[in-house]
Structure 1
Amino acid sequence: MSLSDGASDDDVSVPLPREGGSHSGSIRKGCDPFAQTQRSKLQHRRARINQQINKEMRMRAGAENLFRATTNNKVKETVALELSFVNSNLQLLKEELEELNSNMEVYQTDSEAVNVPLIPLGLKETKEVDFTVPIQDFICEHYGEDGSVYDKEIKELMELRQAMRTPSRNQAGLELLMEYYNQLYYLDQRFFPPHRNLGVHFHWYDSLTGVPSCQRALAFEKGSVLFNIGALYTQIGARQDRSAAAGIDRAIDAFQRAAGAFNYLKENFSNAPSLDMSGPSLCMLVRLMVAQVQECVFERVTLTTQDTHFTSQLRLAQEAARVSTQVTGCPLMKDYVPFSWASMVQVKSEHFRALSHYYAAAALCDHTLSAEGDEESEKAFVHFYVSPPTGLTLSQVLQDPDKRRKLGKAHLRRAVIRHEEAMRVHGLCKILRKMDILQDVLSLTHKRSLDKYSELDREDDFDETAEAPEIQSQTHQKPDITPPNFSTVQVTDIFQRLGPLSVFCARARWGPVRVISLQRREGGLGLTLRGDSPVLYIKFDPICPNGLREGDYIVAVDGQDCKWAKHGEVVHMLKSPSDMGVELSVITLHSHDTQVNVSMCVCEFDLNNTTVESFNRKKYRVSKSLNLKNITKANEQTNMWK
């Protein structure tokens, strides 16, 4: 799907929500951005700065145009001076926004557990959108109905979007975003033809820089909402209490789902007008989320490893090395991500590498190997290093306590060096220096390694400390990238009064509504009908008036709407006793860009002799409410998805 105005998004691979399915009631209340909570204050400040950045950028664009257009040197000097002020203000605003985006502490848990803070992502801000006039005009022009009749539906849509702007940081907030995302499918089908836009402008701000983007393509709205789903998952993951295994598991699940949302966005949307939804940025976010999943896995292994056995300590060392490798592999976009993010990634890389060497030293120095445990320990030790220690065999290291002590001391030396580097990088970043919990973690682990090194250091040990070999990273739980499951939130088409979506959609073309008066005769009305929701007239009969055409859809009987009526209901309405006959409102479908093909059983009623003939048709334009499973299957069969 393309996020730009010029490209079509017809072939997007989005699981389609259920039409006419079960609906537990729309969530219409988001959190109040002006409420006196730390996170809400932060969100309000972000919105204010985004508006100021937008204003300054408009001023800069106007000044640049004037500078290029004028030939008066004095005016040019004045404009150049104004441009310098505007650029200075923009730089200050972006620095202020970066500081807000770097405020990771607001999203952290209130638990007293001492853990390295996780990196959350702020939500994209957006302006209000007024759908009233564009949708009313489209209904009048395309559907031939009075658009004001649908004021209630338009208001409901706008309330849903307004609530979606400030979702609560829990499951209800996620469901609210998914409800609006699913509702956008119906909005796309109802009001966005393939080669025309509705004339609605969607304004969204970059999550990290605050730079505004404006597009008329509904794909941009979909992509931005999907981005916020992923961002909200990161905030939920960061706030979990990771002092217990259950909280760690919830954090793992949240970050895996965040990675899945960003990965889905990367694979299905293109030509993003904002940098935060570009391919490189989304790739970076996916890798960062996976690295944080690995970090939580290490915390769970540390928490659940009660024994201090040799192999258990080796496993902890390899898990920590795995975290360091994952964090180091995150392709951070230079000059785009906040400096605090880059600093935090570097701090984590050094910190977890130091932990891997600490646990390696603990395994070598703290445990006396028994004869029974030698085979198991040697088997675990074989694949522990990337390359074995120089001049030593693994069996020699395991059997000789002094060699184990010296190798453990080498690991501790590297651990202390890595800890000190992590503390140095931490001290260079003003934002990280304000995070007391991070300072506590780095100080405690550094002191622990120093104390351990002091225990092993001997006065008569004049041998130069050898260089510890690199530890092979390994994990017992590889992170999963969990794609978003939109079917978990069932929605009902807000504009279902327009009629079944298979016929009454923006891609269909039909003639104006025609009213046909039918008089009852001895042979009946002369109609043969098929299907339901809506019912079709399919067979010509000599007594049938010329105003009806084969394939016409019956949309009303005697002024009573029957677009959603079942076959039997329409037959009953036509057969109701009346001496004055009936009036049919019908339309003729001229073209349809998409067609859903399914195998279903329909009943054909011949009103001349009131017989019923049942038959199966493999391909038939469905005009009844389809559930999510059927629509998804139909799309896969017709290659509508990317």
Structure 2
Amino acid sequence: RATSNHKVKETVALELSYVNSNLQLLKEELEELNSSVDVYQNDSESISVPMIPLGLKETKELDLLVPLKDFISDHYGEEGILFEKEIKEFMELRQAMRTPSRNEAGIELLMEYYNQLYFLDSRFFPPTKSLGVFFHWYDSLTGVPSHQRALAFEKGSVLFNIGALHTQIGARQDRASLPGLNQAIDAFQKAAGAFNYLKENFSNAPSLDMSAASLNMLVRLMVAQVQECVFEKMTFLRAQHDFLTRLQLAQEAARVEDVYSLVHQTMTQAHVKDYVPFSWTTMVHVKSEHFKALSHYFAAIALCDCPAASDAELPEHEKAFIQFHVTMPEGPSLRVLLQDPEERRKLGKAHLKKAIMKHEEAMRIHGLCKILRKMDILQEVLSFAHKRSLSKYSEIDHEEDFFETGDAPDVHPKTHQKPEIKSPNFSQVKVTDLFHRLGPLSVFSAKNKWYPARRVHLMRGENGFGFTLRGDSPVLIAGVIPGGCAAEAGLKEGDYIISVNGKDCKWSKHAEVVQLLKSTGEEGVEITVITLQGLEGQKTVDKKAAVMSAGSGLLKSNKENSRKSLMNSKSASTLLVWSKKSKRSKKSTYGIPFTTVGDNEAMY
């Protein structure tokens, strides 16, 4: 017990409560800043409903110079100091991606870094050993710090920022123009794809913004914002004011209301309710009510402002109207309703009554949130829509109307353009392995282990050097003739030639190594070889995901690991070809009679 003095206890408790209250206030202020939506909106003078963007996750600087140099020395047997340039170049790339520009160049920068992480993972993160580096990232909304040793956490955080940056690009588009609308749709669809890819390929994230529940909410939010842009695009393109067009607009608005209602339900679930900013939840609720009001408004003007259907138009109008409402309205038959102006006015008046009620509900909910009350443009949009519905209601309301205005059925949601979730296209940003000089990844990777390099001096005998070679990058010694020069010098089947007379041959083609060997004189040739430690490297690959899960929490799925096929750089494609050759050669090198030389082999 720290103390038995009651007065001291009370004083300490009071001070702690004061500190906690200050921390809570700071947290609320930070959430307000991080959840701000108006800072990312466009500067156009046109009136557009604001969109919800995400702020980027922030990260600390990371010094990889010493850890990578040590790993290069210990694992690859190279002088770590010789790779300082490559390490610093990688660190500069990481520093740059912390503050990307809010445009396509910023997206490309993040993708370039994400693709480089594939090479970093393959080169420096063995499946059974930690590099000893912590990756620090802050929650996008709360600012709460998290850290892990797993490189997957770094990858997931960068992927999150790719999605977040797309939301900012989408929010700042001028949606008063068709190009701006198309760009906003594309950006929000790509944001949904990034968050969905993150949800499906990464798990056990330490921060709430990357939890499955939060990512599911973000995907639905982005899809809803795409649907809102589709509605705006529809109003932009369908300038004509005929009956069918207005029915389509009403159904598009109902579809927007439908998806925002789903987002609101998701935001109020237990796992995310306390995490999602109140301003976001309120705005989504406001939009749900606002677009429901718009669906009834467009239904009303379709009935009241458009002329009654002629006999020629009636079949087409009946076909559209029979699927227009969720439930058929009470009253006369469909034919009478469409051709009788008075019946159309009555139903239109009922729709307007419901529209006004929903407009007022949207304005009421909007008034509950302090942050939204500061957004003049949102207040202006809601007020304009409300006044427009009131004006139309006054226009069609007659003094001699003694009937009670009925309750209009809701409009059936329908869209002509369904949102598309666009997964990130990593291959569009070409990168080259910064640590290319270490050698081909098929051999010189963190998962492989080999014995120390051996330097061997060979003298050409009557029958040559006495070995067969296969493949390239690096060239493999496929067989050694018993009693030959190579066997006496200690060369073995499965050795890789990494240098000839001091010339680095890790990336050399078969013909280049052969030429170096043939050009040697009577003094012989000095070659350096390495030998992989059996199949240990291959056996540990399959265990990598499980080890990372137990050691650090964040797990990459097989889909994430198989993203190697998406890397279309020259080095990656070369490695794939070599990998196939390497496996084939290993199966055929052991136990082959040396009187027989395979098609892919050459004896020297």
Q: TM-score range by the shorter chain?
A: 0.7 to 0.9
The structural deviation recorded for 1:181 is 0.5
For the residue of structure 2 that corresponds to 1:155, the secondary structure is: helix
Q: Is the 8 A contact 2:310 2:339 kept in 1?
A: no
Aligned to 2:571: 625
Aligned to 1:170: 103
Q: Does 1:557 align with 2:500?
A: yes
Larger fraction in helix: 2
Q: Is the 8 A contact 1:388 1:394 kept in 2?
A: no
Q: 1:629 to 1:336 in 2, by over 3 A?
A: farther
Distance in 2, Cα, partners of 1:276 & 1:73: 44
Deviations 1:463-490 (CA, angstroms, capped at 9, x unpaired): 1111111110010111111111100011
Aligned to 1:212: 145
Q: TM-score under structure 2 normalisation?
A: 0.86
Q: Is the 8 A contact 1:102 1:431 kept in 2?
A: no
The structural deviation recorded for 1:217 is 0.6
For the residue of structure 2 that corresponds to 1:528, the secondary structure is: strand
Residue 401 of structure 1 is aligned with which of 341, 366, 388? Answer: 341
Q: Does 1:366 align with 2:312?
A: no
After TM superposition, the structure 1 = structure 2 runs for residues 206-605 of structure 1, keeping only pairs within 5 Å, are 206-330=139-263, 331-332=266-267, 333-368=272-307, 369-541=309-481, 542-543=483-484, 544=486, 545-590=488-533, 591-594=535-538
Worse overlay, 394-403 or 309-318: 394-403
Distance in 2, Cα, partners of 1:554 & 1:630: 19
Aligned to 1:142: 75
Q: Is the 8 A contact 2:327 2:409 kept in 1?
A: yes
Deviations 1:503-526 (CA, angstroms, capped at 9, x unpaired): 000110100010001113333222
The structural deviation recorded for 1:416 is 0.8
Q: 1:97 to 1:422 in 2, by over 3 A?
A: same
Q: 1:374 to 1:563 in 2, by over 3 A?
A: same
Q: 1:577 to 1:627 in 2, by over 3 A?
A: closer
The structural deviation recorded for 1:72 is 5.6
2:529 is aligned with what amino acid?
V
2:62 is aligned with what amino acid?
V
Distance in 2, Cα, partners of 1:458 & 1:430: 40
1:494 is aligned with what amino acid?
L
The structural deviation recorded for 1:397 is 1.3
Aligned to 1:193: 126
Distance in 1, Cα, partners of 2:123 & 2:473: 17
Q: Is the 8 A contact 1:233 1:257 kept in 2?
A: yes
Distance in 2, Cα, partners of 1:257 & 1:559: 50
Aligned to 1:25: none
Deviations 1:263-316 (CA, angstroms, capped at 9, x unpaired): 111111111100000010000000000000000000000000011111110000
For the residue of structure 2 that corresponds to 1:509, the secondary structure is: coil
Q: 1:129 to 1:77 in 2, by over 3 A?
A: farther
Deviations 1:580-620 (CA, angstroms, capped at 9, x unpaired): 2111110111135449xxxxxxxxxxxxxxxxxxxxxxxxx
The structural deviation recorded for 1:570 is 0.7
Distance in 1, Cα, partners of 2:503 & 2:42: 58
Distance in 2, Cα, partners of 1:523 & 1:194: 44
Deviations 1:135-161 (CA, angstroms, capped at 9, x unpaired): 111111111111111111110110010
1:446 is aligned with what amino acid?
H
Aligned to 1:97: 30
The structural deviation recorded for 1:71 is 5.8
Q: TM-score under structure 1 normalisation?
A: 0.81
The structural deviation recorded for 1:388 is 0.6
Distance in 1, Cα, partners of 2:19 & 2:134: 26
The percent of aligned pairs where both chains have the same amino acid is 67
For the residue of structure 2 that corresponds to 1:626, the secondary structure is: helix
Distance in 1, Cα, partners of 2:574 & 2:281: 42
Q: Is the 8 A contact 2:459 2:523 kept in 1?
A: yes
For the residue of structure 1 that corresponds to 2:44, the secondary structure is: coil
2:254 is aligned with what amino acid?
A
Q: 1:522 to 1:492 in 2, by over 3 A?
A: same
Q: Is the 8 A contact 2:100 2:110 kept in 1?
A: yes
Distance in 1, Cα, partners of 2:529 & 2:11: 67
Q: Does 1:182 align with 2:125?
A: no
After superposition, the CA RMSD in angstroms is 1.8
Distance in 2, Cα, partners of 1:211 & 1:79: 26
For the residue of structure 2 that corresponds to 1:627, the secondary structure is: helix
Q: Is the 8 A contact 1:290 1:479 kept in 2?
A: yes
Residue 89 of structure 2 is aligned with which of 156, 159, 164? Answer: 156
The structural deviation recorded for 1:79 is 4.8
**Is there any run of 5+ residues in structure 2 with no aligned partner, and where?**
540-569, 581-604
Distance in 2, Cα, partners of 1:569 & 1:480: 50
1:346 is aligned with what amino acid?
H
Distance in 2, Cα, partners of 1:452 & 1:185: 60
Distance in 2, Cα, partners of 1:366 & 1:629: 68
Count of residue pairs the alignment pairs up? 537
Distance in 2, Cα, partners of 1:474 & 1:441: 23
Distance in 2, Cα, partners of 1:77 & 1:251: 56
The structural deviation recorded for 1:91 is 1.0
Distance in 2, Cα, partners of 1:338 & 1:215: 26
Q: 1:319 to 1:526 in 2, by over 3 A?
A: same
The structural deviation recorded for 1:630 is 5.4
For the residue of structure 1 that corresponds to 2:255, the secondary structure is: helix
**Is there any run of 5+ residues in structure 1 with no aligned partner, and where?**
1-68, 596-623, 635-642
Distance in 1, Cα, partners of 2:254 & 2:231: 10
Q: 1:230 to 1:73 in 2, by over 3 A?
A: farther
Worse overlay, 550-559 or 540-549: 540-549
Aligned to 1:127: 60
Distance in 1, Cα, partners of 2:576 & 2:490: 35
2:205 is aligned with what amino acid?
A
Distance in 2, Cα, partners of 1:374 & 1:149: 82
Distance in 2, Cα, partners of 1:628 & 1:79: 66
1:365 is aligned with what amino acid?
C
Q: 1:310 to 1:594 in 2, by over 3 A?
A: farther
Q: Is the 8 A contact 1:230 1:262 kept in 2?
A: yes
2:573 is aligned with what amino acid?
N
Distance in 1, Cα, partners of 2:346 & 2:374: 38
For the residue of structure 2 that corresponds to 1:213, the secondary structure is: strand
Distance in 1, Cα, partners of 2:5 & 2:237: 73
2:52 is aligned with what amino acid?
I
Distance in 2, Cα, partners of 1:486 & 1:228: 14
